[in-house]
């Protein structure tokens, strides 16, 4: 099997998507919804699924786990070095997180650190089943992706939808200027939060690109619904709204 064979896992609190990649193209995919399972049963449930589907037997050069949770913050490296992880998370989430579940990803090029929570069962499961696998918060992948862009527009961003949370990351002049997460229940909520964030940074009337990606592939039509609604409302007409169904694949080589 070619050494270009890789495995990509997209994981959230309720769902797992697995993609077997060959030369950055999907050759096979698996999906699992474990939202109905109690927390204590999830590790065994996911592990059984991986074994039953033969995923753990695949040959691969790299395995990447993109973990999605709204318990995440982005901080400058200097602040990270001088402040505890728990203190930084407490600023946004109070005491509503499990301290033993904290982790982080560094981005030395940008000089920033992504801090987040991730259940210990996820790390123990994938380290055992896929030795050498790299686990990162999904927003770290989007930061890596945007850092490679060099366009002639004022800004370039991604809007990622996962379960009921939207994540907006925007680069302006090769630097991240927006990193915000919001919950939503309808397309209108996404439009409001996104345009409000852009307006606060004085970007709403400027020429830019926002790529939209749905982490939940069962709802892959939402980006197009969003773009249609934005066009109907004639909001942020200077911005090019693009659906990117392969944002995760575009980011794979930048993360492993």
Let me know whether 94 and 193 are in one domain: no
- pLDDT at residue 247, rounded to an integer: 94
Whether 227 is in a domain gets the answer: yes
Indicate the number of domains in the chain: 3
pLDDT > 70 in the chain, percent: 97
| 2, pLDDT greater than 60 | no
Let me know whether 14 and 88 are in one domain: no
Q: Mean pLDDT throughout 210-233? A: 87
pLDDT digits (tens, 9 = 90+) for 15-26: 999 999 998 899
Q: Mean pLDDT throughout 138-167? A: 90
CATH of the domain at 243: 3.30.420.260
Let me know whether 78 and 57 are in one domain: no
Whether 133 is in a domain gets the answer: no
| 218, pLDDT greater than 70 | no
Let me know whether 152 and 213 are in one domain: yes
Whether 125 is in a domain gets the answer: no
Domain of 62?
5-67
Let me know whether 46 and 60 are in one domain: yes
Whether 123 is in a domain gets the answer: no
The 3-state DSSP class for residue 128 equals helix
pLDDT digits (tens, 9 = 90+) for 102-124: 999 999 999 999 999 999 999 99
The 3-state DSSP class for residue 213 equals strand
Let me know whether 77 and 59 are in one domain: no
Q: Mean pLDDT throughout 166-195? A: 93
The 3-state DSSP class for residue 68 equals coil
Q: Please, is 132 exposed, middle or buried when counting C-beta atoms within 10 Å of its C-beta (0-12, 13-18, 19+)?
A: exposed
Average pLDDT, the chain: 92
Beta-bridged to residue 172, according to DSSP, are 155, 175
Reported confidence tier of residue 204, pLDDT bands at 50, 70, 90:
very high
Let me know whether 90 and 172 are in one domain: no
| 246, pLDDT greater than 80 | yes
Strands (E), the chain: 5-11, 15-22, 25-33, 62-67, 72-76, 102-107, 112-117, 134-137, 155-162, 165-172, 175-183, 208-214, 239-243
Predicted TM-score (pTM) of this structure:
0.92
């Amino acid at each position: 099997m070619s050494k270009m064979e890789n495995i990509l896992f997209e994981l959230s609190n309720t769902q797992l998507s697995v993609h077997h990649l060959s030369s950055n193209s999907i050759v096979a995919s698996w999906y699992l919804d474990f939202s109905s399972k109690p927390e204590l049963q999830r590790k065994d449930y996911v592990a059984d699924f991986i074994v039953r589907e033969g995923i753990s037997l695949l040959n691969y050069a790299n395995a990447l786990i993109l973990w999605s949770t709204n318990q995440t913050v982005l901080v400058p490296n200097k602040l990270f070095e001088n402040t505890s992880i728990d203190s930084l998370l407490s600023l946004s989430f109070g005491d509503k997180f499990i301290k033993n579940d904290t982790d982080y990803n560094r981005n030395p090029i940008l000089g920033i650190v992504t801090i987040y929570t991730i259940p210990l069962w996820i790390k123990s499961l994938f380290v055992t089943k896929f030795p050498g696998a790299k686990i990162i918060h999904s927003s770290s992948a989007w930061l890596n992706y945007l850092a490679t862009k060099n366009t002639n527009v004022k800004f370039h961003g991604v809007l990622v939808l996962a379960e009921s949370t939207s994540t907006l990351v925007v680069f302006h002049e090769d630097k991240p200027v927006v990193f915000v997460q919001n919950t939503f229940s309808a397309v209108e909520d996404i439009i409001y939060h996104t345009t409000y964030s852009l307006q606060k940074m004085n970007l709403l009337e400027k020429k830019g690109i926002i790529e939209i990606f749905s982490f939940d592939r069962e709802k892959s039509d939402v980006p197009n619904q969003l773009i249609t609604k934005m066009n109907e409302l004639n909001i942020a007409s200077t911005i090019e709204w693009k659906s990117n169904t392969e944002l995760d694949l575009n980011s794979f080589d930048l993360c492993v």
